[in-house]
Chain A
Amino acid sequence: MPVGGSVLLLEKVLLSGNEAIARGAFEAGARLVAAYPGTPSTEIAEMAATFKEMYTEWSPNEKVALEVAGGAALAGAWSLAAMKHVGVNVASDPLMTMAYMEIEGALVLVSADDPGMWSSQNEQDNRYWARFAKIPMLEPSDSQEAKELTVEAFKLSHEFHCPVLIRTTTRLAHTRCPVTLQDRVTVPQGPGPGEKLTLIPERTVMIPANAKRRHPVVERRLEALAASADKSPFNRIENPDGPGPAFITSGIPYAYVKEAFPESPVLKLGFSYPLPMGLVREFVAGRKEVCVIEELDPLVETELRAAGLAVTGKDRLSKIDEYSTTMLQKAFGLPTPPVRTPVPGLPPRPPLLCAGCPHRGVLYALALQKAVVLGDIGCYTLGVMKPLDTVHSCTCMGASIGHGHGMEKALGPKVTSKVVAMIGDSTFFHSGMTPLLGVAYNNGSSKVVIVDNRTTAMTGHQGNPGSGFDARGNPTKQTDLVALVKALGIDDVTVIDPYDLKTTRAVVKRVMESDAPAVIISRRECALLRTALRRPPAVADKETCTACGICMKLGCPALYKVGGKTQVDVTLCNGCTMCVQVCPSGAIKEGETQ
Chain B
Amino acid sequence: MLVGVGGQGVVLASNLLARAFLEAGYYVKQSEIHGMAQRGGSVTSFVRRGGSAGETVHAPGIDPGQADALLAFEKLEAVRFANCLEPGGLLVSSQQEIIPTTVSALGTPYPESLDKLLDETGANVFLVDVMDIARKCGNPRVVNVALVGALAVHLEMKTDIWERAIKATVPRALEANLAAFRMGMDAAHKD
Contact = CB atoms under 8 A, between A and B. Distances in A.
A340 B121 contact: yes
Nearest to A352: B40
Given A14-B19, A571-B140, A351 B36 contact: yes
Contacts of A455: none
A430 interface: no
Contacts of B83: 339-343
Interface in A239-267: 252, 254-256, 258-259
Interface of A: 12, 14, 39-40, 118-119, 142, 170-172, 174-178, 252, 254-256, 258-259, 324-326, 336-343, 345-354, 379, 382, 386-387, 458-460, 552-553, 555-557, 559-561, 569, 571
B100 A118 contact: no
Contact of B108 (A14, A258, A347): A347
A40 B35 contact: yes
Contacts of A353: 39-40
30 contacts: A14-B28, A118-B37, A119-B34, A171-B31, A174-B33, A175-B31, A175-B60, A176-B29, A177-B27, A178-B22, A178-B27, A178-B28, A337-B86, A338-B87, A340-B82, A343-B121, A347-B76, A348-B100, A349-B5, A349-B76, A349-B77, A351-B6, A351-B36, A351-B37, A352-B41, A352-B101, A353-B40, A552-B104, A553-B105, A555-B101
B109 interface: yes
Nearest to B83: A340
Given A352-B39, A459-B35, A337 B66 contact: yes
Given A339-B83, A552-B104, 13 more contacts: A171-B61, A175-B30, A177-B57, A345-B111, A346-B76, A346-B80, A347-B100, A348-B102, A349-B100, A350-B41, A352-B39, A559-B104, A560-B103
B59 interface: yes
Tell me the interface secondary structure of chain A in the complex: loop
Contacts of B53: none
Contacts of A556: 101
Contact of B59 (A14, A119, A325, A560): A325
Interface string B168-191: 000000000000000000000000
A170 B34 CA distance: 10
Contact of B65 (A340, A459, A557): A340
Q: Identify the interface centre among A176, A353, A561: most chain B CB within 10 Å of its CB.
A: A176
Interface residues of B, number: 58
B18 interface: yes
A325 B63 contact: yes
Given A352-B41, A382-B39, A174 B31 contact: yes
Contacts of B38: 351
A118 B44 CA distance: 12
Contacts of A252: 60
Interface string B110-121: 110000010011
B35 A119 contact: yes
B131 to A, nearest CB: 9
Contacts of A174: 31-34
A347 B109 contact: yes
B102 A350 contact: yes
Contacts of B36: 39, 118-119, 351, 458
Q: Identify the interface centre among A119, A341, A459: most chain B CB within 10 Å of its CB.
A: A119
Nearest to A143: B29
Q: Identify the interface centre among A172, A343, A353: most chain B CB within 10 Å of its CB.
A: A343
A268 to B, nearest CB: 11
Nearest to B46: A175
Nearest to A348: B102
Interface string B90-104: 000000001111111
A255 B59 contact: yes
A556 B117 CA distance: 28
B58 interface: yes
B71 interface: no
B36 to A, nearest CB: 5
B116 to A, nearest CB: 11
Contacts of B18: 14, 176
B58 A354 contact: no
B64 interface: yes
B72 interface: no
A116 to B, nearest CB: 9
Contacts of A341: 83
Given A177-B27, A352-B101, A354-B40, A345 B109 contact: yes
Q: Identify the interface centre among A142, A172, A351, A571: most chain B CB within 10 Å of its CB.
A: A351
B15 to A, nearest CB: 8
Contact of A255 (B32, B35, B42, B60): B60
A178 to B, nearest CB: 6
A175 B19 CA distance: 13
A560 B35 CA distance: 25
B180 to A, nearest CB: 16
A14 B19 CA distance: 8
Contacts of A352: 39-41, 101
A174 B22 CA distance: 18
B39 A338 contact: no
Contact of B102 (A12, A14, A347): A347
Contacts of A553: 105
Contacts of A382: 39
